[in-house]
Amino acid sequence: MPNQGLGALLLPFLLILLVGFMFWSQRRRQRAAVDLQSSIDVGDEVCTTSGLFGRVVAMDDLVMHLEIAPGTVVKFDRRAVAIRVDTSTTGSTTAVDLSKTPATTATTATTDVPASPVDEK
């Protein structure tokens, strides 16, 4: 019967181990995010958590200004930076010839839609 005592202790031990691992991994992710956000400098290319790519043109303790297009600067919370984009591996951007790609824009067509009847009093 000593095996029942070990079995009864094994389940709570595994649960405590699982919870401990969850806390440890969450703290590790938070630490990595804080390290990334504190290492960002003006001129770095970044991607935000919403997927917007831009170059940091100014920043303070809470806010950073990203240039997303020439002359277009938007303001983001510093915590919104997800990754730093390594421009040395991506190389220069290439232009896409849109005349050789299928049309992706929707065209609007005018159709005759009957007007809804309105009660006239």
Please state the domain extents for the chain.
8-91
Tell me the sheet residues that pair with 55: 45, 67
Average pLDDT over residues 43-55: 92
pTM, two decimals, is 0.54
- Read off the pLDDT band of 112 (50, 70, 90): low
Residue 22's identity, in one-letter code, is M
d(CA 31, CA 10): 31
Average pLDDT over residues 92-118: 47
> What CATH number is given for 8-91 in this structure?
2.30.30
Torsion of CA 18, 20, 26, 32, to 10 degrees: -120
Q: What pLDDT does residue 25 have? A: 92
